[in-house]
Copies of this chain bind each other. A is one copy, B any other.
Amino acid sequence: MGDLVARASHGDADDPLASFRDRFTIPPDWIYLDGNSLGLPARTMRERLEQVVGEWEREAVLGWEHWLAMGSAIGDELAPLIGGGPGEVAVCDQTSVNLFKLASAALSASGRTTIVSDRGNFPSDLYILDGIAKAAGGRLVLLPEDPSPAMVAEALDNDVALVSMSHVSYRSGRMHDAAAITALAHDWGALMLWDLAHSAGSVSVDLDGWGADLAVGCTYKYLNGGPGSPAFLYVRTDLHDKLQQPIAGWFGHADQFGFAEEFAPAHSVRRFLVGTPPIISMTATREGIAITREAGMQAIRTKSVALTSLLIEAVDALDPSLGVSVVTPREPAERGSHVAISHSEAFRVSTALRRRGVIPDYRAPDVIRFGVAPLYTRFADVTSAVAILEDVLTTGAHLTGSDPTSSVT
């Protein structure tokens, strides 16, 4: 471990993103490794919220003259972080609602009724996709967790309307070969929908470059938009006029305030909007995205790989008798920004770690996730966390502690 601690020290000394840590408020005495679940607030967050309340106070309903376009405007600000072009991304609703809208639109447009996904996709995504497929008289084909492109290829045929997967698995942390899988979907005339919840703000995403059709994702993890901050959706420009989502709300109307009797969808990404967006939470989202843009995705990804590599090496260096193993792929190109480890007493271990000020999270039945957020996670945090993990397991602290608290994404 000594070598790794020295390496961590050098990593922090040489970190081009080091100054960003001071831009966030971090619970004192915590080693926070759960930014993959909920990112931390920028120090400017209070000021930004004061500003938007000030707008509400001063302008009241007239504030809508600038709030109205916020969903599209923040979408355009987010777009470069995920390889989207201007007018292809909107911030709106929650991830699950956005997935429902886009996946439903894909099935309606194709006339096909099969959706392909995998057991490593987020459960909420699977529930929604299953519901959509069944409502259309079709089915959701579920591949094993984290399938290879070849396994995806085997599931494809002319009945498949949509392939929908998480780019980075919420559980294992595996990152998929998005360009390859997208191309396979296209070979069979299916559309490809990526869930970027664990990707946006943490790994390189190139939706336009991949040829992706659709994407959704959340802004409250690596984008630090706040608890439950509004989500985003991406629809490639040439698909805007070909897809119609099922929730025909007024924010998607070509002439929102014309109040015509018939719905006529906007000829832009606006057609995928529904209702009035929560402006105060949207403001928090915008601030999180702004800091990420300032840091730049290349620097973030470079640091993320270095942090997860250090974490994996540190866990690998633990005594095998402690019963810990790394679940996440060891090849950097195949993983996102968290490292999942397995242990037979994972829940108790994660609880013991929290008591010691290390905040990972737990995923049933046997996984602990350590998320690194390059904007505020230090290399020394990684080695300290693993040292504490070693101490917990060596002393058996996880077997003797008080009642565990619940674990929440």
- Whether B32 contacts A247 by the Cβ 8 Å rule is no
- Whether B226 contacts A279 by the Cβ 8 Å rule is yes
A124 in contact with B275 given A60-B40, A364-B258 (CB within 8 Å): yes
Contact flags (1/0) for A107-140 with B, using CB distance below 8 Å? 0000000000001001110111011100100000
For the complex of A and B, 7 pairs with smallest distance between CB atoms: A94-B275, A278-B281, A124-B250, A96-B249, A96-B275, A64-B408, A127-B263
Q: How far is the CB of A118 from chain B (nearest CB, A)?
A: 11
Q: Which of A313-364 contact B (CB under 8 A)?
A: 359, 361, 363-364
**Most chain B Cβ neighbours within 10 Å, of A49, A68, A123, A228:** A228
- Whether A248 contacts B127 by the Cβ 8 Å rule is yes
Q: How far is the CA of A306 from the CA of B402 in the complex (A)?
A: 60
Q: How far is the CA of A95 from the CA of B263 in the complex (A)?
A: 17
Q: Which of A252-270 contact B (CB under 8 A)?
A: 253, 257-263
Q: How far is the CB of A97 from chain B (nearest CB, A)?
A: 6
Q: How far is the CB of A67 from chain B (nearest CB, A)?
A: 6
Is A15 located at the chain interface by the 8 A CB criterion? no
Selected contact of A45 from candidates B53, B227, B228, B276, CB within 8 Å = B53
Instruction: Find chain B residues with CB under 8 A from A253 CB.
Output: 123-124, 127
Q: How far is the CB of A64 from chain B (nearest CB, A)?
A: 4
Selected contact of A41 from candidates B53, B68, B131, B218, CB within 8 Å = B53
Is A65 located at the chain interface by the 8 A CB criterion? yes
The complex is assembled from copies of this chain, and their number is 2
- Whether A97 contacts B59 by the Cβ 8 Å rule is no
Is A388 located at the chain interface by the 8 A CB criterion? no
- Whether B131 contacts A248 by the Cβ 8 Å rule is yes
- Whether A53 contacts B60 by the Cβ 8 Å rule is no
Selected contact of A61 from candidates B34, B60, B231, CB within 8 Å = B34
Selected contact of A93 from candidates B93, B124, B409, CB within 8 Å = B93
Q: Which of A28-82 contact B (CB under 8 A)?
A: 30, 32, 34, 37-38, 40-41, 45-46, 49-50, 53, 56-65, 67-68
Selected contact of A53 from candidates B46, B231, B277, CB within 8 Å = B46
Q: How far is the CA of A18 from the CA of B249 in the complex (A)?
A: 38
Q: Can you report 8 A-B residue pairs in the complex whose CB atoms are below 8 A from each other?
A: A27-B60, A38-B61, A61-B409, A93-B94, A123-B250, A126-B261, A127-B248, A230-B278
- Whether A123 contacts B259 by the Cβ 8 Å rule is yes
Residue of B nearest to A55 (CB): B227
Instruction: Find chain B residues with CB under 8 A from A94 CB.
Output: 93, 249, 274-278
A37 in contact with B57 given A100-B247, A220-B276 (CB within 8 Å): no
Contact flags (1/0) for A219-232 with B, using CB distance below 8 Å? 01000001111110
Is A4 located at the chain interface by the 8 A CB criterion? no
Instruction: Find chain B residues with CB under 8 A from A259 CB.
Output: 123, 363-364
A46 in contact with B37 given A59-B27, A279-B227, A359-B61 (CB within 8 Å): no
**Most chain B Cβ neighbours within 10 Å, of A96, A249, A278, A284:** A278
Instruction: Find chain B residues with CB under 8 A from A32 CB.
Output: 60
* Apart from A32-B60, A64-B409, A93-B93: 12 A-B pairs, beta carbons within 8 A: A34-B60, A37-B61, A61-B359, A93-B275, A94-B277, A124-B275, A131-B247, A226-B280, A228-B280, A228-B282, A278-B281, A281-B281
Instruction: Find chain B residues with CB under 8 A from A62 CB.
Output: 359, 405, 408
Q: How far is the CA of A218 from the CA of B128 in the complex (A)?
A: 25
Instruction: Find chain B residues with CB under 8 A from A132 CB.
Output: 246
Instruction: Find chain B residues with CB under 8 A from A262 CB.
Output: 127, 130
